[in-house]
């Protein structure tokens, strides 16, 4: 009895003490006016950047993951042979100082940078490159290496010429290959030793050559990186980087305004004023993506291009994009983003014309359509597919078409798309490598979860094949412009928007930029 009473009183005392302490520190926070919640850690905070994103990375092994949250972290740890220019998807030297491509496009020779070391102290050399590529080629490749076939699918073999020269032999000419090597998934070079030590899976033990090295990953909370002092190039300005995971968009905004994060991403347009009025800044990066609505071209009534055009005419895309994304996505006139080679300002989709739409649809007897959509926000559609479908539903009702919507979470949605039971579906694409083929091929792919319009046009396919083999340049770009024109004329898709990436950052953060491939290079960013 006595013992029990004493225990109880102890617990009670502890609780009261906790509550008291909380109250005290709470009031302390309020006097600090929320600018720096952890006032005592200011000095530590000075050399630490906190980047808040929506979710944990899937993992930190570039061969095993496919998501943007992982990519953002990995680009600071790893490097590939090539990298993208800061403002475009033009490729530049990375771990390879220079390269030669044979005239037939079947042999690539890379001359590697000398004196580069992995963060575990091992040397970067031709063997490491061979190891990384062969890991993603048959027979070693596993089916869960999501980008292996995309990046290295056209590679036949890899040869070590000498310690700093690598030769890659191709099965067929593939112009996008150089762009692929600059990608943040599949292409980055991982320390072979780390892979061997960790059973060929460095999801939780990443080790590359980049400006930051991995410290820790607390699941659900954060990944901590620290400066790689042995980095071969310009060393990182800020000592530590913390990627913090805050799922909810508005909570991420609160975190930024409260000083719990220095930079946040994945926000939508509605919070911009809130961020700016708190004295923080907005970074607006063009997005390498397309948000679209696709017609099921294998099924009546949308096997008829006229009906497709009529529906496209019914939707006022600029108005829809303006209110749904509040100006933080550009209404799309083409499939390719505007900065992409092959984009042409002359391409136009079916123009908004209610009367024309009405009469065509009435003639064709289209009174109802079945739309399917996804219920999660996607990088190309921050407002989520449901809101988009509902908006389109509103437009269709004005031309006498009643639309029913079925929304699914992403996993189920992909199954439904595969099953093909829909008239219209909503989809989108985030570019991988900055090459136009990466976008236009979506209308030629045989996989129905890629080619959701199930568009099957032999001329279009032939042109796609020609584009892949044609060396980069104006001639190749024209091919893609032509493809755009075919797609627009056939009204296969109704391109809706190119989502911009919106980031918020605190006013003392300098030199922050967000690359159009959806990643952030933080080594140049400092906190004033």
Partner 1 sequence: MSMQHAELPKSEFPEQTADLLEKPESRLKEMWESLCEDKAALTGLFVILFLVLVALFGPLIMPYDPNLSNMTKSFIWPNSEHWFGTDQLGRDIFSRVIAGTRISLTVGLSAVAISLTIGVVLGSIAGYRGGKVDTVIMRFMDMMLAIPSILLAIAFMAALGKGLDKAVIAIGFVSIPEYARIVRGCILSVKENDYVQAARVIGNKSSRIIFKHILPNVLSSIVVRATLGISTAVLDTAALGFLGLGVQPPAAEWGDMLGRARGFVFTAPYTLIFPGIAITLTVLAFNLLGDGLRDALDPKLRKN
Partner 2 sequence: MFKYIVKRILMLIPVLLGVSIIVFLIMRVFSPDPAPIVLGQHATIEDANAWRAANGLDKPLYIQFVDFLKGALTGDLGTSYYTKTPVTQEIFSRFPATIELALAAIILASVFGIFIGIISAVKKNSIIDHAGMLLALVGVSMPIFWLGILLIILFAGVWHILPSGGRIDPLLQPVVSSGFYIYDTIVSGDTEALADALRHLILPAAALGMYSMAIITRMTRSSMLETMSQDYIRTARAKGISENRVVTHHALRNAMIPVTTVIGLQLGSLLGGAVLTETVFSWPGIGNYTVECILKSDFPVVQGVVLLIAFIFVLINLVVDIVYALIDPRIKFSKKEG
Our measurement of the distance from residue 524's CA atom to the centroid of its chain's CA atoms, rounded to an integer in Å, reads: 21
- Of the candidate residues 107, 203, 258, 274, the single one contacting partner 1 (CB under 8 A): 274
Choose from partner 2, partner 1, none: what does 319 bind? Cβ within 5-8 Å by kind.
Answer: partner 1
Q: Which of the ranges 48-56, 192-200, 348-356, 399-407 carries the binding residues for partner 1, by CB under 8 A? A: 399-407
Interface positions with partner 2 (CB under 8 A): 4, 12, 15, 18-19, 21-22, 24-27, 29-30, 33-34, 37-38, 40-41, 44-45, 48, 50, 58-59, 64, 66, 142-144, 146-147, 149-150, 201, 203-204, 218-222, 224, 242, 244-248, 250-251, 254-255, 257-258, 260, 409-412, 414-415, 418, 447, 449-450
- What is the DSSP pairing of strand 212-218 with strand 501-505? unpaired
- Of the candidate residues 389, 424, 464, 502, the single one contacting partner 1 (CB under 8 A): 389
Q: Does 386 bind partner 1 (CB under 8 A)?
A: yes
- Of the candidate residues 61, 69, 265, 268, the single one contacting partner 1 (CB under 8 A): 268
Q: How far is the CB of 195 from partner 1 (least distance, A)?
A: 35
* Dist CA 303 CA 296 (whole Å): 7
Choose from partner 2, partner 1, none: what does 249 bind? Cβ within 5-8 Å by kind.
Answer: partner 1
* Dist CA 47 CA 312 (whole Å): 52
Choose from partner 2, partner 1, none: what does 447 bind? Cβ within 5-8 Å by kind.
Answer: partner 2
Q: Which is nearer to partner 1, 53 or 154 (CB)?
A: 53
518: region left, alpha or beta (phi > 0 left; psi from -120 to 50 alpha): left
Q: Which is nearer to partner 1, 88 or 393 (CB)?
A: 393
* Dist CA 441 CA 174 (whole Å): 14
- State the Cα angle at 462 between 457 and 463, rounded to 5°: 100
Beta bridge partners of 373: 407
Burial class (CB in 10 A: 0-12, 13-18, 19+), 187: buried
Q: Does 264 bind partner 1 (CB under 8 A)?
A: no
Q: Which of 385, 462, 469 is nearest to 428 (CA)?
A: 385
Cα–Cα distances (Å) from 323 to 55, 310, 328, 388, 462, in that order, read: 27, 22, 10, 11, 39
* Dist CA 160 CA 24 (whole Å): 64
- Of the candidate residues 77, 155, 407, 452, the single one contacting partner 1 (CB under 8 A): 407
CA Rg, the chain, in Å? 26
Q: Does 270 bind partner 1 (CB under 8 A)?
A: yes
Q: Which is nearer to partner 2, 38 or 172 (CB)?
A: 38
Helices (H), 219-329: 249-258, 272-277, 305-314, 317-325
Which residue's entry shows tokens 């989108």?
A: 428
Chain positions contacting partner 1, by CB under 8 A: 248-250, 253, 268, 270-271, 273-274, 316, 319-320, 322-324, 373, 375-376, 383, 386-387, 389-391, 393-395, 397, 405-409, 412
């Amino acid at each position: 009895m006595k013992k029990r009473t004493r225990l109880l009183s102890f617990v009670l005392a502890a609780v009261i003490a906790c509550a008291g302490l909380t109250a005290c520190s709470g009031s302390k926070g309020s006097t600090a006016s929320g600018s720096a919640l952890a006032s005592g850690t200011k000095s530590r905070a000075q050399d630490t950047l906190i980047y808040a994103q929506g979710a944990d990375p899937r993992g930190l092994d570039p061969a095993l993951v496919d998501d943007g949250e992982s990519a953002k972290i990995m680009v600071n740890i790893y490097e590939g042979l090539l990298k993208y220019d800061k403002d475009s998807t033009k490729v530049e030297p990375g771990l390879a100082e220079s390269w030669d491509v044979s005239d037939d496009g079947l042999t690539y020779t890379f001359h590697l940078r000398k004196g580069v070391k992995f963060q575990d102290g091992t040397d970067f050399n031709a063997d490491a490159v061979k190891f990384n590529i062969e890991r993603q080629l048959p027979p070693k490749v596993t089916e869960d290496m999501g980008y292996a076939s995309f990046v290295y699918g056209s590679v036949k073999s890899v040869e070590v010429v000498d310690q700093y020269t690598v030769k890659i032999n191709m099965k067929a000419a593939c112009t996008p290959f150089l762009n692929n090597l600059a990608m943040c998934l599949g292409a980055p070079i991982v320390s072979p030793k780390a892979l061997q030590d960790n059973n060929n899976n460095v999801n939780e033990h990443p080790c590359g050559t980049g400006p930051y090295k991995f410290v820790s990953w607390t699941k659900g909370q954060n990944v901590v990186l620290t400066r790689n002092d042995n980095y071969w190039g310009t060393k990182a300005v800020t000592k530590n980087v913390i990627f913090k995971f805050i799922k909810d968009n508005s909570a991420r905004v609160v975190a930024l305004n409260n000083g719990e994060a220095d930079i946040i991403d994945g926000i939508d347009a509605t919070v911009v004023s809130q961020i700016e009025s708190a004295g923080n800044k907005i970074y607006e990066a063009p997005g390498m993506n397309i948000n679209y609505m696709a017609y099921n071209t294998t099924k009546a009534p949308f096997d008829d291009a006229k009906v497709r055009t009529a529906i496209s005419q019914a939707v006022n895309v600029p108005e829809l994009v303006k209110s749904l994304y509040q100006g933080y996505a550009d209404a799309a006139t083409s499939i390719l983003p505007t900065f992409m080679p092959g984009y042409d300002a002359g391409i136009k989709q079916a123009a908004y014309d209610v009367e024309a739409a009405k009469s065509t649809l009435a003639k064709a007897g289209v009174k109802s359509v079945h739309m399917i959509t996804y219920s999660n926000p996607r990088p190309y559609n921050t407002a989520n597919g449901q809101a988009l479908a509902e908006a389109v539903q509103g437009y269709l009702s004005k031309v006498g078409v009643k639309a029913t919507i079925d929304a699914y979470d992403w996993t189920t949605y992909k199954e439904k798309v595969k099953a093909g039971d829909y008239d219209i579906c909503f989809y989108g694409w985030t570019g991988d490598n900055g090459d136009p083929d990466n976008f236009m091929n979506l209308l030629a792919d045989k996989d129905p979860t890629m080619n959701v319009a199930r568009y099957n046009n032999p001329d279009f396919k032939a042109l796609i094949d020609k584009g892949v083999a044609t060396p980069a340049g104006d001639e190749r770009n024209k091919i893609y412009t032509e493809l755009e024109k075919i797609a627009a004329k056939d009204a296969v898709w109704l391109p809706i928007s190119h989502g911009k990436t919106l980031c918020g950052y605190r006013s003392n953060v300098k030199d922050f930029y967000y690359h159009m491939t959806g990643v952030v290079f933080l080594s140049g960013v400092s906190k004033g």
